[in-house]
Structure 1
């Protein structure tokens, strides 16, 4: 525990105060059960007293026209903010709620050597950046749509647009393989599309899998698969022109980056990805309806 005398005149930081609380908790671990229960009950009573005091204080001041601005200013202090949040006086920010949603899928990302961070939250838009093995992984689109984006939109409905921010580089896999934590399907759900050796680096193929038309691309070590449907009107793009890595829809000219599926004409939309993997000599696809 810190020496109070040595800290005289210093303003304690949030980290130091939390550290003091943790030190007390560790100290209490050595007490007998009755002493621990008594200390816990006292802490709960003090917590309840503080919460009720804050509730009454807010109730008494809320009609003051300057109160809202004063509270926002006070909450800029990390200690004030932490205490008000603990007692429910302040609601979590949109950024914090997006971060909390991301936290629900983070264990899955970490289990595959990757991670993600909130790059930005502006208005109703959130941007998420993949880190580690997820950054540049051929499975990143599936992970983003089936895991990250779904979690955020399910838990933070105010966020209507979730985008993948540009990665920092240095991640991904060393070979033409991928494993997504959100692609754990039975082998009977995968369909062989074509042999890997039949798809050259930089090549794009339009093929039919059962009743579904798909676009399969290979760029260096990344194999991707998209639904063959323009995000504009859902029309197939089999006859579209491909210049380098850009596919142009033959119907209305919408342009797509085949490496990512991003729409260059209307950045708010993109091609729908399908799960894809390389197993043995073959490229296999799982259709996402």
Structure 2
């Protein structure tokens, strides 16, 4: 059972405001450049002084709190907002291996929806060693969603790591294993677009079994909710190349309103009775907000 989060913080209406504070601070710093190099330098120094001050105060508060109740370490770590602030100041109560392991646990259900899994082999000298297992139920584009899910979760939990190393699993020709060299490299190779995570809090408003269309960073997506899980796909039917607007779910199968082709939204958009598939777009909970990894054109 997961430890309880801190009361009052995660339920606060202002929670989302503080989660995006870093972006607002960076925007203000960028704006200060208009006053010249000196103005920018002074603004950065001001931020450093304030950050160091609050870091020193947080360290003393952590020492007092954990001395009084060691169990608070679990509660601090379980609250995304508190944990992220502690990470900034190097005060997180868990070591890097524990954080990486917990991060992988958080995305394991998502990997399972793509027929995959991941094991943590260890963390040493800033290098996280992983091994992927399982069958990929669609084309290699599904492995890209796995890459994004795993890398984002690991780097968010342990920003101090230097790199992620994938160790190849023993191959089983009948299982259609996801090749290890396709993971954590595809988004950096030529011919692929880069990605950027965009918060889309509106996704949380979808009800069970509902299908909604969203325009995110210029990309039109179709989003389906199945119970507590949210799945997103590019708005294009691979069979007729038409839009999926108006598509409905029948169980876990999404039917194209144009040609009637069916796709399993739970298993990476695999075609029902055919080899065509939807193009998945990763959706993960990041800093307490559902976010989508949208493709960006490479300059």
- Which TM-score band applies after superposition, normalised by the shorter structure? 0.3 to 0.5
Task: Give the TM-score taking structure 1 as reference length.
Answer: 0.37
Which structure's relative contact order is higher, taking Cα pairs within 8 Å and 6+ residues apart? 2
Give 1 or 2 for the bigger CA radius of gyration. 1
